[in-house]
Amino acid sequence: MTASKLYLIHGLGSDSIGLVEKITSPIAEIKGNIVDLRQDVMHGLFIIDLVADLAASDITFDDFKKLVDKISDETGLTLFIDSYRPIPRDPGKENILLILLGYDAPGIIAAVTEILRRYSINIEFSQMIAREGVFLMELLVDISRATIPVENLKNALRETMASMNINTMFQLQDVFNKKKRIIVFDYSWSMMNKSDTTELMKLCGIESAELSRVYSSQSPLECMKKSAQLLEGLPDDVIKSIIKATSVTSSTMELLQTLKTMGYRIVLASNAFDLFIEKLKDMLGLSYAFGCPLLINDDGKCLTGEIESDFFLFGSKDARIKEIMEKEHVPDEDVTTISDKYEREFEKPGVGITIGIKTILDCYNQHIISRENLLGILGIFGPLT
């Protein structure tokens, strides 16, 4: 049996299509065998680590180094090569999967890794993303040398992470087949960011006092009733054109794509009008989404000025989320809720949108919508505080 001749190739550079093939094909041509490979892309940065076995190849180390340098030149990547002596895998290894999900803040990674080090737990693989004020991290850890039982470890992690607004979940078995989990983005107030609201009001000459008089109630139900009344008689295609002009931040897209890739079912629960929420659901490819039903006259294709008040009944939103959990067979312990109930840098943690101010102004300037309609449009995206 031929002894292994293992070499580690690692490097990074600007991402482009076909990089893995451009690295591995020349190695295959010299009869090199890839036995381990890890590759990732972060913000357009391509990162790769691979182990090649040259036992069946006649190439010398110097010539192999020249080949790797040639690959670097042709791909624009910075690649390095080192001899590799693997350490035999520990047959007593015991892996668990640790998932952290919640509101982003400095020090989360430092806190969790300090606990793992303190109790002699080794991190074998980790992946994390923090976008739009949301933090998600998965760690595959080996607890075979842990100095405390698993239940005590779970309690220590949960207590520390909870103090940082992070939900901690564990998968103790079959760790390479991730369990289905749910993340709920639950928004009670407007999904319109404050800068967009301020800009639109300024351009249309709307004072804060006028908006406060119109939306004097702090009740989400009363706010949405008032918004619907101000939109009464408006053609629904006008509202749809305004909603269509809404865009989503690239950070939001990156966060949600990562969540979906990692197996999460994403639920958007909002008090904004359902026409807007359905559009967001399509734009973001969400599993589930629901908002306040805005009633439309099907014959006249215009807004009736009414909503379905039952949507705001106590427990209604929780009941719908419970139905989703039952449908997906996901228990409470594997559900995380991100909401807008905290005052923080990100007004809507997880979902950042930009409304189409130009479209709204065009409708206003052309007298397609009145000043009253304009005030109602501010409520399309959820109750105003």
Is 313 exposed, middle or buried, given 0-12, 13-18 or 19+ CB atoms closer than 10 A? exposed
Report how many domains make up the chain: 3
**pLDDT for 299:** 80
Contact 54, 7 (CB under 8 A): yes
- Give domain status of residue 89, yes or no: no
325-354 burial: b if 16+ Cβ within 10 Å, else e: beebebeeebbbbbbbeeeeebbbbbbbbe
Contact 328, 182 (CB under 8 A): yes
Give the position of tokens 């002699």. Answer: 120
Q: Say how far apart CA 247 and CA 237 lie, in whole Å.
A: 18
Note down the domain range covering 257. 185-377
- Give domain status of residue 373, yes or no: yes
What is the Cα 265 distance to its own chain's centre? Answer: 11
Q: Of 127, 152, 179, at which residue does a domain stop?
A: 179
pLDDT by residue, tens only, the chain of 385 residues? 356 789 999 999 999 999 999 999 999 999 999 999 999 888 789 999 999 999 999 999 999 999 999 999 999 999 999 988 877 767 778 999 999 999 999 999 999 999 999 999 999 999 999 999 999 999 999 999 999 999 999 999 999 999 999 999 999 888 777 789 999 999 999 999 888 999 999 999 999 999 989 998 778 999 999 999 999 999 999 999 999 999 999 999 999 999 998 889 999 999 999 999 999 999 999 999 999 999 999 887 899 999 998 999 889 999 999 999 999 999 999 999 999 987 666 778 999 999 999 999 999 999 999 999 999 999 999 998 6
- Give domain status of residue 309, yes or no: yes
Residue 275's alpha-carbon distances to 9, 270, 304, 361, in angstroms, are: 52, 11, 14, 20
Structural element, H or E, at residue 316? helix 316-328
Residue 19's alpha-carbon distances to 45, 108, 343, in angstroms, are: 12, 33, 44
**pLDDT for 3:** 60
- Give domain status of residue 384, yes or no: no
SS3 129: strand
Q: Which two tokens stand for residue 205?
A: 């000459």
User: Quick one: 135 and 196 in the same domain?
Assistant: no
Residues 6+ apart with CB under 8 A from 208: 201
User: Quick one: 44 and 109 in the same domain?
Assistant: no
CATH number at residue 195: 3.40.50.1000
**pLDDT for 175:** 78
User: Quick one: 133 and 202 in the same domain?
Assistant: no
User: Quick one: 248 and 301 in the same domain?
Assistant: yes
CATH number at residue 75: 3.30.70.260
Q: Say how far apart CA 90 and CA 106 lie, in whole Å.
A: 34
Please choose, from the candidates 211, 137, 156, the residue with its C-alpha nearest in 3D space to the C-alpha of residue 376. Answer: 211
- Fill in the amino acid letter for 123: I
Residues 6+ apart with CB under 8 A from 362: 368
Beta strands in the chain (DSSP E): 6-14, 33-42, 45-53, 78-83, 95-103, 122-131, 134-142, 166-171, 181-187, 247-248, 264-273, 288-292, 294-297, 302-307, 335-339, 353-354
Residue 70's alpha-carbon distances to 13, 18, 77, 80, in angstroms, are: 15, 16, 10, 12
CA angle 181/183/184 to nearest 5° reads: 140
SS3 143: coil
User: Quick one: 192 and 157 in the same domain?
Assistant: no
Q: Where are the alpha helices (DSSP H) in 191-306?
A: 194-204, 208-214, 220-230, 236-244, 250-261, 274-284
Q: Of 179, 201, 236, at which residue does a domain stop?
A: 179
User: Quick one: 71 and 103 in the same domain?
Assistant: no
State whether the Cα torsion 326-189-355-222 is positive or negative.
Answer: positive
Contact 144, 124 (CB under 8 A): no
Residues 6+ apart with CB under 8 A from 193: 347, 348, 352, 353, 354
User: Quick one: 214 and 287 in the same domain?
Assistant: yes
- Give domain status of residue 315, yes or no: yes
Q: Say how far apart CA 197 and CA 140 lie, in whole Å.
A: 43
Query: Euclidean distance between the first and final Cα of the chain, in Å?
Result: 74
pTM of the model: 0.84
- Fill in the amino acid letter for 183: I
Q: How many CA atoms lie within 13 A of 227 on its CB side?
A: 27
- Give domain status of residue 385, yes or no: no
User: Quick one: 266 and 295 in the same domain?
Assistant: yes
User: Quick one: 191 and 161 in the same domain?
Assistant: no
User: Quick one: 78 and 127 in the same domain?
Assistant: no
**pLDDT for 1:** 37
